[in-house]
Chains A and B, each alone.
Chain A
Amino acid sequence: MDALYREAILDHYKYPRHKGHLDNPDVSYFDHNPFCGDEITLELKIEHGVVVEAAFDGRGCAISQASASMMTEEIIGKPLEELKGWTKDDILDLLGIEIGPVRLKCALLPLKALKAGVWGIDDSDA
């Protein structure tokens, strides 16, 4: 089958991890990709500058939704400082596939939401 839809991606798409909502999240950010209609809401709970819980909700293509599922799994337990430095390569490493320019936007939507949501977070209680 097409390398884009390798087993791990399909698994995260069909059985998304951390899909849903958190009670009283510290961060809640909605982002979407108007050209293809991918949508995600990313929610985080932060303690001492570390992501302790993460959830997402959304609709869209397998790549965007699998990327959100993989990313939420990965960021839990990570300090925000580290996550702010994440780039597209970190997401592509998670997905484990090569993506052409058109689908790249889908793959990076969750990271975009993370960065936009985290930016401006008052994590002074850390």
Chain B
Amino acid sequence: MKSIEAIRADFPILQREINGLPLAYLDNAATSQKPLAVLQAMDDYYRLRNANVHRGVHTLSEEATTLYEGARGRIARFINAPSSKQVIFTRNATEAVNLVAYSWGLDTLKPGDEVLITQMEHHANIVPWQLITERTGATLRYVPLDPQGMLRLDLLNELLTERTRLFAFVAMSNVLGTINPVAELVARAHGVGALALVDGAQSVPHLPVDVQALNCDFLVFSGHKMCGPTGSGVLYGRRELLERMPPFMGGGDMIREVRLDGSRWNTLPWKFEAGTPAIAEVIGLGAAVDYLTGLGMEWAQQREHALVRYAMEQLERVEGLRILGPGPEQRGGAVAFTLGEIHPHDTAAILDAEGIAIRAGHHCAQPIHDFYGIAASARASFYFYNTFEEIDRLVMALDKVHSVLGI
């Protein structure tokens, strides 16, 4: 196993200083940093092989296509998809949810149908369903939270009915850190004949995910939160569903044949990839997946678990600090908190002066904050490259926030 120092050396940005102090990057739930291997894969593509994919017969185009499709295969293996045809590239998790909403949702949902989501969703898994249920006359329902930041699964019997067409839920909350029992929730959805969409934006980067074991119908995630570049995202879907779904966007690459009186669609996965894709970014995501596989996702999960457990212990000692969400056993690496009456923006600004990057705001999950009756929270979120010393610095800086702003 590589040492943490060696792993950190793979990430050039982690050598940076902010305000004269070493950067402590604790905003990984927003986006992760990128290892050299990813930067080099993209650089190599642009320097040596840049060409459009699926089009030319010249050498560069073939090399680019091989790299692009090779990345698809690696990502399919990473999530244990039965076939790489079930891995569709999107810009990000948000676009992947929208793809399902506009393709499957518009085509399927009718008045009387229900879509069930939860109160802990990121806006990316709320707003598309609000838009689509409004347009189709279907009803949107929510699984509420309990005060510990867990889903009220005791209400699932009432909420999940034969009217439910889809249960879309987050595998790991980006605010509460809560890890939901995905396989169990998928089975419950299937039990009433509904499909299950899993928002894996926070789970795929942080723990082993096996779509066959979860048995989900759709899984969405973003490359940029898992060491890959922005602009790379994935929709995994069950084969029969993807085959039946109409295209999301029309254009080049997604067609087999275009005549003036109509067109025929390309096969999977290209049916859903209209236009020139984010070639360099997908190649970068392929390199990111190789990097993560090299470290081992089980190892990454354990490392983060140790960091989170330590962070929660230490944070609890900070005066007035209240952590949102469950204890370390039920959560991943995102720890949102409030600090007495101190506004999270002030907390984050004072931490920034100490070289520590955390996020402040509602983290694109306003319903969670409404539930707790707060406008915003501060959030520290970890990745495997973070250190226990960075957590010590975080805690010391939070004490400083008190001494500067304490009233």
Residues of A within 8 A of B (CB): 1-2, 4-5, 10, 13-14, 35-38, 59-63, 103, 106
Contacts and interface: CB of A to CB of B under 8 A. Distances in A.
Nearest to B369: A37
Contacts of B341: 59
Given A1-B404, A5-B404, A14-B407, A36 B343 contact: yes
Across chains A and B, which 3 residue pairs bring their CB atoms closest together, nearest first?
A37-B375, A61-B343, A2-B353
A31 to B, nearest CB: 14
13 contacts: A1-B350, A1-B404, A2-B353, A4-B353, A5-B405, A14-B407, A36-B344, A36-B360, A36-B361, A36-B376, A38-B343, A63-B345, A103-B345
Contact of A37 (B349, B352, B376, B405): B376
Contacts of A4: 349, 353
Contact of B405 (A10, A38, A60): A10
B346 interface: yes
User: Which of A4, A5, A14, A61 lies at the interface centre, i.e. has the most chain B CB atoms within 10 A of its CB?
Assistant: A61
Given A1-B353, A5-B404, A10-B404, A35 B361 contact: yes
B349 A103 contact: yes
A61 B346 contact: yes
A62 B346 contact: yes
Interface string B22-35: 00000000000000
A60 B343 contact: yes
Residue of A35, A37, A59 with most chain B CB atoms under a 10 A cut-off: A37
Contact of B349 (A2, A10, A14, A38): A2
B353 A62 contact: no
Interface in B299-331: none
A106 to B, nearest CB: 7
Contacts of A5: 346, 349-350, 404-405
Given A35-B362, A38-B343, A62-B343, 4 more contacts: A36-B345, A36-B360, A60-B343, A103-B345
